[in-house]
Each structure stands twice: as structure tokens, then as C-alpha cells.
Structure 1
């Protein structure tokens, strides 16, 4: 249950080079906050192992690689961890079982997932009203932020610039996987059925339109996971990837890295290069990349796209 009704002020880091052309909305992990995670993502120098030059880099950050991109870091509400049955509250987009990522506590997740994804939609709407087209807005999240962002993107009725999920999972995954096991479903019907299930589960009265689903499926997807992640197992990210492919998102990239429950420099470089391929303004990748996004393999264990 939410203990407050208002979110903390947004941490906003403007584009390093005017004009502002695109926006990344980054969703933190459970127990963290937007203000804390922001400098780790945008101000830390990228020291890739790809070349001698990049290993000595002390100047180029993700903000430099995406010079015309504004970064927005919201903070989730403080929620009580109901399983503890005490008064301890901390930042989390929704309540989960801290011992494992399972489907056994789905009902406890509903309130937070609905509130949080509605809130993210409000942030998208505010950016659009300020002049940034939705196809230049990216939802990016780590861990529980990835899980929340995935549902927010599936629920959003318009094509966005992209969804980037790192070391995360998809809530309600078993029930959603079961939708694709039913015989006689049309391809488009599968995605519509998934969205219909999510809206019903969240108690939402939003109309599920096949036309809106077709637009949503145009949002490109990048999912990365650390092979050494012991907090959210890589299989959780694989299941998220498999569901999004089954829903027929037009592009779903899956990449794994030699890292734990966090990101690494190679993952950030891959993401920047991937966004560049989608029409985002990217600068300074030359020292990190050769001729393609897949060429950076020092830490990247696997990389595939449909």
C-alpha cells in the first residue's frame, strides 16, 4: 500500500548539447531512487575494453554519446513490504516477494503496477505536450524498473522511441505465457489478449483497441541481462524477451553481458549505438565501435535480434 500520494520531484538532466531532441525516462530498481541512480548512468566515464583509447577514456559519458537527449529520473512511491507485516516502507514501483521473483504474489503487485505505469504515462504525456514526439521518447529501466517499464510500454497505445530493459523480468509472466499456449489465436489476437489480460488484472477500464495494439508493437525493444546476475536470474530476462517476441513486437534485441545485477560499459555502448540506428542523435561512438553494433564482443556474450 502506498504511504504517500505524491512522487518525489523528478531528477532532470538536460541535453548536454542544444537543441533537446529526445528523452530517456529511466526507472530505478527497488529500494533506490531517481536522484541516486542518475549520476551513475549519465556522469560516469565509459571505459570499454574495446581499444586502448577507450580503456583510457575519462571524458566520454552516456550523456556525451547522446548529446541531444534529456534524461528524466522519476522516483517510485514509498510502499510497505506487506510480507514483513511491519511499518517499514521504502521505494518500490510495486510490492513483491523479496525472496524470489515468482508469480505467487501477483495480487499484491496490482496496486503498485497500475499506479506506477499510469504515472509513467503521465510523464510521457508531459514530454509530448512540451514538444518531444513519442517516437523520440525511450522508457529505460533496471531490475524492478525494467519490470515496470515493460508493463508501461505494453499498456501505452502509441509507438515510442524504444524500451530498454536491463536485468529485469515481466510481472504476471506465467499467465501471459499461457495465453500463447492456447490454440486458435491469431497473431494480432495474442498481443491484444495479453493487453486485455493486463488491463483486466489491474482493474483498468481502458479500452483495448487492435489499432492501438498495432501501434504499440512498433516500439523497438532492447533487453540486456548480466550472466552473473544472482538477484534476477538471466532466465527472467529471457522470458520477458520471449513474450515480447511472441507478441510480435517489430524488433526485440536480446543481449547478455559478463556482469552481475547492474549494467556495464559495453551494454551502454550497445544501447547508444542501437538508438543511433533508430534515428537518435549519437556522437563519439567511433572509439568504441567498429562497423556494427554486434562487433563489440569483449564483454558481450551474445547478441541477437529478430
Structure 2
């Protein structure tokens, strides 16, 4: 995957930390720009990087080309193991890692970088957490799932559970069903992640899972406020 084009929201004050956030299928970095600007106001030293996924043919949508981090073959979760675009997923993880490296090269320590994503972008984030070598300040996965679940246990690094993770999911999600998120969180627990209390206002190693009633495949003011608190704590 080629170098990712991206939007940047520069910090109001000295650049001391970075949040990289990946959009969902068919979207672009512009889709999360309003959220970044909203959170930017209370994080004066944080730079936001909002990458654009490349255009790929998506099997689920009849091969139509659209912004996608990887191909989606089906939403049928009954397949075991599910047919997933492993090569595309790994290429996306590698491309995102180059963005992280660019921040490190610019003088931002790994423990002052948060990687997050929504839906497809959240899946890439989850895989980056499990397969990468970086110890970032934290990882955020919203309305998503852990991909390659049938083999990720054998591939996952052993120290991933030492990193703070925020996972948010709407209970009325009709695209990535809420139970997919629940099962993904259970998988992470099997991998040694400690389940932290919902509603914590600080970030620590382990997995904070927040459920949002009446929220579909989107975000909500409550989730964004939880995210603001969590990212602020993670970057302290």
C-alpha cells in the first residue's frame, strides 16, 4: 500500500503528542475532521492525523471501488474461520505504521501517540495493537471487530495487554453488530487483556469497553466525551 494521504490538524501550542485516527469504509479523513476539531479545542498540544484510505474494489459491494482499508467479502459472521482479506489487512497495518514512524521521526515518542479508528479503521487499529511492535499511549477501536480472530492468538505479541485500549460500540449497530464487539472484547480478554471498569476517567493498561444504548453504526456525544477524557488521560 502506497504512502497514505492525510489531513492534519495542527496543535494550538507546542506539538507534544499525536492522535492518528482511521475512518470507516467508503469515508475519508474528512469524515472525522469535525470530531478532531471538537477534541482539538481541549488538547492544545495534540496534533491530529486523519488518513484517507486508498480506493479498492470491495467484493461486498459488487467489486465497486471505494475508499477501503481492505476488501470485505461478506458480513456473514457464521463462517468459521471467516473469509477475510488477510493480505489487505496486513498491508493497511504496515501503511499506518509508516504514519506512526513519521511522527516518531518528528520527535514525538511512541508513548505520546494514540492510534484509533472506526469500523474498518478500528479493525486495522485492533490488528496494529496485536501484531505491531510499538508501545503507544493507547489504541481506540470504535464500532468494530478483531479481524483474523481464528489465528490472531498465535500471531499476537505477548505484551499487547500492557497497553491501554478504549473500545466503544453502539448497542443498536446494524452494520457491525454489537455482539461482534462483545465477542472481540472476549477474545482480547482471552489474550490476557484485563477488563477495566466502564466509565473510568483515566487510562491504564487493560481494556475499557463502553456500550452505548440507542446508538447505531455511528458515534454519539457521550462516546466523544468519553473519548476526550480517555485520550487526555492516555497522553498525560
TM-score in terms of structure 1 length: 0.67
Alpha-carbon offset, residue 116 of structure 1: 0.3
- Whether contact under 8 Å (1:96, 1:105) holds in the other structure is no
Q: 1:38 aligns with which of 26, 32, 37?
A: 32
More strand by share: 2
- Whether contact under 8 Å (2:111, 2:235) holds in the other structure is no
Alpha-carbon offset, residue 156 of structure 1: 1.5
Alpha-carbon offset, residue 153 of structure 1: 1.6
Stretches of structure 2 lacking an aligned partner (at least 5 in a row): 194-204
Aligned residue runs from structure 1 range 247-266, under 5 A = 247-249=191-193, 250-258=205-213, 259-266=215-222
Q: How many residues align?
A: 224
Q: 2:234 aligns with which of 278, 293, 300?
A: 278
**Which has more radius of gyration?**
1
Residue 168 (structure 2) pairs with residue 224 (structure 1): yes
Stretches of structure 1 lacking an aligned partner (at least 5 in a row): 44-60, 180-192, 196-211, 281-306
> Could you say which structure has the greater relative contact order, defined with CA pairs below 8 angstroms and 6 or more residues apart?
1
- Whether contact under 8 Å (1:103, 1:171) holds in the other structure is no
C-alpha distance in 2, partners of 1:227/1:217? 25
Q: Give CA-to-partner distance per residue, 1:118-161, whole Å, 9 cap, x none.
A: 00111111111111110111111001111111001212212111
Residue 163 of structure 1 corresponds to: 139
Residue 138 of structure 1 corresponds to: 114
Change (3 A) 1:244 1:129: same
C-alpha distance in 2, partners of 1:125/1:102? 37
Q: 1:67 aligns with which of 26, 44, 54?
A: 44
Residue 27 of structure 1 corresponds to: 22
- Whether contact under 8 Å (1:7, 1:77) holds in the other structure is no
